[in-house]
Every structure is written in structure tokens, then in C-alpha cells.
Amino acid sequence: MKLKLDAENKTMHNTSNVIRTTVDTIVEEIPIADMHTHIYPPSFGSLLLWGIDELLTYHYLIAEVMQAAPLPVETLWKLTRREQADYVWEHLFVRRSPISEACRGVLTCMQSLGFDAAKRNLKEARLYFSEQNIDEYIETVFRKANVSYAVMTNDPFDGAERNVWKTNYDEHPRFKAALRIDPLLSNWETASNLLREQGFEAGPSLTDSALTVVRRFLDAWADRMNPLYLAVSLHPNFRYPDDTPRTRIIDSCILPFAQDRDIPFALMIGVKKLINPGLKLAGDGVGKTDLSNVENLCLQHPANRFLVTLLSRENQHELCVLARKFPNLMPFGCWWFLNVPSIIEEITRERMEMLGLSFIPQHSDARVLDQLLYKWPHSRRIIANVLCDKYEDLMRTGWTVSVEDIRRDVMRLFSKNFESFLSADF
């Protein structure tokens, strides 16, 4: 079927309805490759978070409740997980309407699982989760969210995670690995201590032999994890190149490693860690970065591929401009504080207008399995909306769009752009 502007109906009223219904349906139907999450298969034990108490104590909601309610954060941390969840429920859902995106997300999850949100009852949800078999539940969630697989965040500097990889790891068709290396690029002294703890004998000064050790470390973990990409999150003051150990590690270890393995390097730039340390995971902030550093990386290393997401809203336009200049740069996602409807809409529109279909519109960043049930439906709806506007604009020129065209475009956005940016033999 071709969708075409009806010559007699310049208002495009009918056509517009057809496009909207068609795009909505296709956007629902095409599975997503969720390229950055913090969820795990069951073999990761307690690292896999799921269920209503985890949903309610998501760090986005902890930050929100601390701002809205009186309890000092140290007291909150002393409560059990369930008590914390009750506290969040009481203050963010009962004493005021839960209109923030993170609150709304919990309700979308509950609705997706068949609960009547109007009952405002946690008991029923707790009972439901306590009766689930986790393997079946994972399938239910992925199927309902129409996500084909999720890429994990795999941190070899985390003792609990290391232990899983060494003793208990069980490959799971819904989960793929990404090797995350933040400590390596934040402070060499700390990193070298952590490497030594794992038997990688790197000294406190970054000599050539220490660089060889770093490379061995990366190879050892990549052999074990088979990561789709290498990833780091960085402070907004990230500079490249500079005369710090970070640049030397990037030049001598990270980039050659990524080239040899034929995988991209993902940079997530703009996080100010622990600006309020008491809040722990909920205590991070945001800052603008200078994109000439990403420009330098892309220009100086054309044989490397860079997946880039930026935390500051103010950096988004510049990132689009850079992506137009460097085919080895792929912008992805609306990260963390940007993952709210008004900003997703703005960024998606801007990216489509500047890059066409050559970007990865979203990742879920789910930390709790069930969050796939809200993050994706919320984003899908916005992406569909922006796409509709763009197809309508096209049709005003006399261009026609077939159902197959739309399907192909959505597949690019939802999986192909990511997968073709990975190694050719994905």
C-alpha cells in the first residue's frame, strides 16, 4: 500500500489518520535492540533487580522522594528495601499525584502487568511478584515490551559481577555483554590498585609495561564476556587529547583493542559523580561538555567507531552537527535526565531533522527488569509521533511512503543502525 496525499483533501485529514495508525502499528511491531541497560540474566543472582519494591526504589525515585519528603537520607538507607518502597509510595504516589516520568513509569509497568492502578494497592503487586518464576517472567517482560535483547553493563571492577563471570555465568539469549571500564579512565592510581587486586601487576606509574598490563586485562575480560562494545561514562571536563594517563590509555590500549576486536567504543559524557554523596547512586549531577574532544577522537581515529551519548541537553545540537561530519560517530539514546517525554521529543525531532534516520534514538537504561515495560512504550509513542510528522511533511511534497518504507525505517532506528555499527559479523 502506498500512502499518498489525497489531491482533493489538502487538509490531509484522512491521510494523516492513516499514516498515524500505520506508523503506530509498525512502531509497536518492530522489536527493539536495547543497546544500553543495567539488567542481567538470572545467573547474575542479586544483580538482577525486578519487582515492585525495586521499581519504587529506583534511584530516579529516591532523588525525587528526598526532595519531596522530610526523612534524612541516612535514615532512609537504614530502612529495608520494602520500607523504602513504602516510603516512596506514601510520599510520591499517595500524598501527591505521581506525575513525574519516573512515577508514571511505575504505574505503566503495573498496568502492563494487569493491575488496576486505581486500587492504589501494593499488596496485590507484591503477591504477584513473589509468585513469579524468574525465567518465565523475563520472557513475559521481553515479549510484552517487544525487546529482542538487552545489552548489559558489565563491569570487571565490580567484585560481585566478577564472581558471576568466573563461577556462574550462563549465556542467555536475551542478554548480551558490554565491557564497562570507568575506573580505568578516571584515576590511574586507583585503577592500578584495582588491577593488582585481580592479579594484573600494573605499577602506580603508567609505564609502557603498565600499558601492556592494561591491554592484557582488556583482552582477558573480552575473551570472557565477548562484549558488543567497550563503554565508559565520563565527567563533563573530559579532554582528549591531553597529557594525563587517560589519553595514554585511550591511545595505547583502548583504541587499538577496539580496532583489533572490531568493536565500537561507547562514550557517555557529562556525568558529575556524587555531587551529593549521601544520595549514593541518586547523587550524580550533569554538566555540559566541550565536544571538540569528541571531534578530536573521531578525526584522529577514523578506523575506530564511537557510540556517543551526552547527558546535557545543551550539548545535543552540537552532537548532531558532529555526527554529520564523522561517519565513525553514532549518537545514541536520550540518557538518564534526558529520558523524559518533552526532551525525548525535542532530541528525536532535532536528530531526525539533522541526521535523517542515521542515529539510535533510544536505549532504556533499565536498572530494574520490569522497567522495560514502561521505558519502551513511553519512548515508542514519542518516536512514532515525530516520525508521523516527518512522513506528513514528506507527503506534502508529493512523495509517497509505503508500509514497507516505514517498516524499513523503523527497523533502522530500533536495531539496524546499532547492529550495523557493531562488527560486520554480528
Instruction: Output 274 or 394, the one with its CB closest to ligand RAT.
Output: 274
Least distance in Å: CB of 38 to Zn ion? 6
Least distance in Å: CB of 37 to Zn ion? 7
What phi and psi values does residue 155 have, to the nearest 5 degrees?
-110, 105
Least distance in Å: CB of 190 to ligand RAT? 17
Binding site for Zn ion (CB under 5 A): 365
Choose from ligand RAT, Zn ion, none: what does 367 bind? Cβ within 5-8 Å by kind: ligand RAT
Least distance in Å: CB of 376 to ligand RAT? 15
Instruction: Output 101 or 365, the one with its CB closest to Zn ion.
Output: 365
Least distance in Å: CB of 359 to Zn ion? 18
Binding site for ligand RAT (CB under 6 A): 38, 153, 233, 268, 281, 336, 365, 367
Choose from ligand RAT, Zn ion, none: what does 301 bind? Cβ within 5-8 Å by kind: none
Instruction: Output 175 or 391, the one with its CB closest to ligand RAT.
Output: 175
Instruction: Output 272 or 408, the one with its CB closest to ligand RAT.
Output: 272
Least distance in Å: CB of 390 to Zn ion? 28
Choose from ligand RAT, Zn ion, none: what does 362 bind? Cβ within 5-8 Å by kind: none
Chain centroid to CA 169:
22
Least distance in Å: CB of 180 to ligand RAT? 8
Q: Which residue is nearest to Zn ion (CB)?
A: 365
Choose from Zn ion, ligand RAT, none: what does 64 bind? Cβ within 5-8 Å by kind: none
> CB of 30 within 8 A of CB of 57?
no
Instruction: Output 266 or 298, the one with its CB closest to ligand RAT.
Output: 266
Instruction: Output 91 or 363, the one with its CB closest to ligand RAT.
Output: 363
Show the 3-state SS of the chain.
Answer: CEECCCCCCCCCHHHHHHHHHHHHHHHHHCCEEECCCCCCCHHHHHHCCCCHHHHHCCHHHHHHHHHHCCCCHHHHHHCCHHHHHHHHHHHHHHCCCCCCHHHHHHHHHHHHCCCCHHHCCHHHHHHHHHCCCHHHHHHHHHHHHCEEEEECCECCCCHHHHHHHHHHCCCCCCEECCEECHHHHCCHHHHHHHHHHCCCCCCCCCCHHHHHHHHHHHHHHHHHHCCCCEEEEECCCCCCCCCCHHHHHHHHHHHHHHHHHCCCEEEEECEECCCCHHHHHHHCEECCCCCHHHHHHHHHCCCCCEEEEECCHHHHHHHHHHHHHCCCEEEECCCHHHCCHHHHHHHHHHHHHHHCCCCECCCCCCCCHHHHHHHHHHHHHHHHHHHHHHHHHHHCCCCCEEHHHHHHHHHHHHHHHHHHHCCCCC
Least distance in Å: CB of 180 to Zn ion? 9
Based on its alpha-carbon atoms, the radius of gyration of the chain, rounded to whole angstroms, reads 23
Instruction: Output 367 or 381, the one with its CB closest to ligand RAT.
Output: 367
Choose from ligand RAT, Zn ion, none: what does 233 bind? Cβ within 5-8 Å by kind: ligand RAT
Instruction: Output 364 or 385, the one with its CB closest to Zn ion.
Output: 364
